[in-house]
């Protein structure tokens, strides 16, 4: 009797079964499965999104079950969130206070830095904080 072993793909963090053998279980059309009719199985994800990040497991239904886990990291380029940032042009009278806000998103989290166009130092009067 020949044992018929099947391969399954799972998204570990979501505890979601993605595929069994050649059948895609999850109802996400971006996911597909294929194999080379030898020993190699492929999970394909089209148009990768942030929530695809995480651990994926390929498992074979042997006794005991054997598996391999891999991590998919999804890199997201930095983007300034205009709706949560100061206007690009702000006018104030001399000796008035102003707070400028810049909100950025991305993965890994972007590092923000303020600088003047003319290269001069930005003077911050920390004594006036909270007054």
Whole-prediction pTM value?
0.70
Q: Which residue has the higher pLDDT, 131 or 82?
A: 82
- The rounded distance, in Å, linking the Cα atoms of 86 and 97 is 14
| pLDDT attached to residue 131 | 44
Q: Given this model, what pLDDT does residue 3 score?
A: 54
Give, in order, the Cα–Cα distances in Å from 3 to each of 56, 62, 120, 123.
25, 9, 74, 74
Instruction: Kindly report the backbone phi and psi dihedral angles of residue 45, in degrees, each rounded to the nearest multiple of 5, phi listed first.
Output: -125, 115
């Amino acid at each position: 009797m020949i044992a018929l072993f099947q391969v399954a793909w799972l998204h570990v963090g979501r505890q979601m079964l993605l595929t069994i053998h050649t059948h895609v279980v999850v109802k996400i059309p971006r996911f597909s499965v294929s194999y080379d009719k030898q020993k190699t199985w492929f999970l394909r994800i089209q148009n990768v999104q942030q929530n695809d990040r995480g651990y994926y497991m390929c498992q074979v239904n042997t006794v005991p079950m054997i598996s391999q886990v891999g991590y998919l990291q999804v890199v997201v380029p930095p983007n300034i969130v205009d709706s949560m940032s100061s206007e690009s042009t702000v006018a104030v009278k001399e000796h008035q206070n102003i707070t400028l806000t810049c909100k950025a998103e991305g993965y890994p989290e972007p590092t923000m830095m303020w600088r003047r166009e003319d290269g001069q130092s930005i003077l911050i009067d920390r004594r006036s904080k909270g007054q």
